[in-house]
Amino acid sequence: MCGLAGLARIDGSDLRPDADGLLSRMADIISHRGPDDRELLRKGPVGLAFTRLSLVGPDDGAQPLVSADGDLALIANGEVYNHQELASAFPAGTVRTSSDCEVLLPLYRKHGADFLDTVRGMFAVVIHDRRANQLVFARDRFGVKPLYYHRNAERIVFGSEIKALFSDGATPRRVDWKAALTHPMMTAAPHLRETEPVTWFEDIHLVPAGTVVRINLADGATTTHRYWSLPAEGPEATGSDEEIVERYGELFAQSVAECATADTEIGLFLSGGIDSASVAALAARHTDSLHTFTVLSGATYRNGDAENGAFVADFLGLPNHQVLFDADRVPGVEEWKRLLWLSETPECGPEQFYKHELHRYAKAARPELRGMLLGAASDEFNGGYSPDLAGGGGWPDFEAHLRGMSRRGALLDVPALGAWWEQIPHPVLRDDAVHHHLGTTAKDPYAQYLLREWRKIQQYNCWHEDRSAAGSGVEARVPFLDHRLVELCASVPADRRGRLLWDKRILRSAVTGLLPRRIVEREKVPFFYGPGDVHTFRTFSRMLAQDGGALLEEALSTDEARRHLDADGLRTMVAHLSEAPSIDVQLVLRLVNLGLLARMAEDLPPPLVTTSAGPVPQALAVSDWDAERVGVEERIGVAPSLAPDLVVGLAPEVLLLSSPGENDTWFLAVDGTLEYVVDEEPWLSFLRAVDGRRPLGEILADCGVELGDVREDLVGAMEHGLLRESAA
């Protein structure tokens, strides 16, 4: 993981010496990406800036890399995993350093725009081809490594992060409100309409994934060559189910081995789910010191990630760090703005915060650590979301849901037809009717779904994994984004998808024997949604409300923000969320982020390396989860200390009600809606005795029950805000 930046004249002239100042400023801005080295190179019409993080060839892999004849100069961010295999095809001495990226120079010289066809890895590449007078941009197949640019008639500026481009006074610094507010990733729109990744800023472009872009430096003429596309509707895989699973297992093991190879220390984020656990089991074969890092928060405690992460690490004999996020850990105003500026995306939210802090802890605990293995991007192509989208059904229900998403996407172009599906409970028109009026042919919804997931990982997953790691000078590595793995999953025949891709069966079958059955068959749980998600929602609702809603008020401080955002409505939402945290905090935060990005783009913050990210998180050592459970719950704030003098009462919006009849049925009503049935003793007796005045010990004594008899229900009620601590 390194930082790239630069500029080039595209009008036939050379750069002037004063361009060195801009190159230096750009290098300053991205210096967090590469703390080990910094180089600037200006020659003719092109200037290059490079900041290096050394994972492979730390002694002689400095960049820019220049060919022996001086005709080619290259800077690259990322890793070429099969560099030794590729280099072996050239005469000895062609590759002169131990850099994994130098092999790209002879590959480009030999194959031109096709030079990446046989390359495996994650990379963003810039080549100055002096003989052809061209500037060449390229990115890996999934866009794991970023590369952005802005151009006008005279020049082009480019960099690994958008903020580097803003160092150039001629580059616009405006949020693209229209693109942001209508993008399905921002609105969570449930359709399969094709939407290309965006940069969130006006006239800032990204080099597309799987693409080589060549720019003529004499006149700016540009050609684009896509060397890889997701083969969503390509040839089908052959062989039996068992043979496909075996092939998947072989490719996965190879990918993990390549990602786990480095000349410096590598770590791993371990959630205890099948994805990261599988990476851990295979990576442990290739490194002597693999430390694992797990989020310990209210959400990950409740959904089982924290405990299962520790279980997997213990099973594999790996050190595990349970990184603590207790109930009081709320990002401060300046802390959040710094993270948002690092991320450069309005989608910055809880996931980005937790992973950024994990990297900070890992770097502090293991100073020599340079790379981090992730289990990310398995769900997208292995069928991980199929049970959720099936709504409790099976694969046919998942496919039916995809057909509905495909139809909703098509109806965006003929919305008047939508009434036939919205007003009648059973289908009366075929989906083909929509495509007939569009003049198109219905596509395979599953193929559309895979394409959406490919674009989603570019817009969201790869984007934030890169930034959250880069903030600590760490490179994130993603074994599941080996194109051979993805191609294999995409080629599973339609009539066998249910057997191989339902709930990641292809992965679970491939790693059976590597991990305990408890982990192989463990149900997928989201990172912070599901059980315990109220803890996350509460944290970020408190963040928005702190200091009189300071983040929101700053977000509303630009003319464009006030033109697009309803200030009073947002203030009302923030106030409501502080009282009743919910998933709505996600959408509110995205709008606040847009406003903050607009403000920061106008008044550029200083380089990240010159500002503090706040105190480094701490880890909580847990040696016996069963024996220490109560203490862990109290430490992370899942449960308060249930002392005898604790006084609790029903929240103002909660009522305990009973229905008249021979056998009374009791309910908890929230805001006038019956939400919970209360039909078990002694919990019902306890609730009937709660009055907001008497202490816990007195109530338990009057009911004749022990704390242990109602503890789980009491903790759950307080966790979800049904019961609140009150003054006696």
d(CA 145, CA 80): 12
d(CA 203, CA 85): 39
CA angle 245, 250, 252 (to 5 degrees): 90
Contacts of 576 (CB under 8 A, 6+ apart): none
- Rounded alpha-carbon distances, angstroms, from residue 175 to 30, 178, 593, 689: 20, 9, 11, 55
Q: Strand 72-80 and strand 121-129: pairing?
A: antiparallel
User: Terminal CA-to-CA distance of the chain, rounded, Å?
Assistant: 56
d(CA 628, CA 88): 55
d(CA 43, CA 284): 45
Contacts of 723 (CB under 8 A, 6+ apart): 648, 649, 650, 651, 654, 690, 714, 717
Measured N-to-C along each axis, helices 350-365 and 533-555 cross at an angle, to the nearest 10 degrees, of 100
State the maximum Cα–Cα separation within the chain, in Å, rounded to a whole number.
95
Which residue, 61, 6, 56, is CA-closest to 29?
Answer: 6
Q: Which two tokens stand for residue 551?
A: 């983040």
- For the chain, the residue count is 728
Number of Cβ within a 10 Å radius of residue 90: 15
CA angle 640, 327, 471 (to 5 degrees): 160
Residue 2 designated active-site? yes
Contacts of 434 (CB under 8 A, 6+ apart): 407, 410, 411, 414, 417
Q: Strand 155-159 and strand 148-151: pairing?
A: antiparallel
Measured N-to-C along each axis, helices 445-456 and 395-411 cross at an angle, to the nearest 10 degrees, of 80
User: Residue 546, class by beta-carbon neighbours within 10 Å (0-12 exposed, 13-18 middle, 19+ buried)?
Assistant: middle
Contacts of 715 (CB under 8 A, 6+ apart): 633, 638, 639, 642
- Rounded alpha-carbon distances, angstroms, from residue 129 to 254, 339, 476, 607: 33, 36, 29, 31
The single residue of 2, 259, 348, 703 carrying the catalytic annotation is: 2
The residues annotated as belonging to the active site are: 2
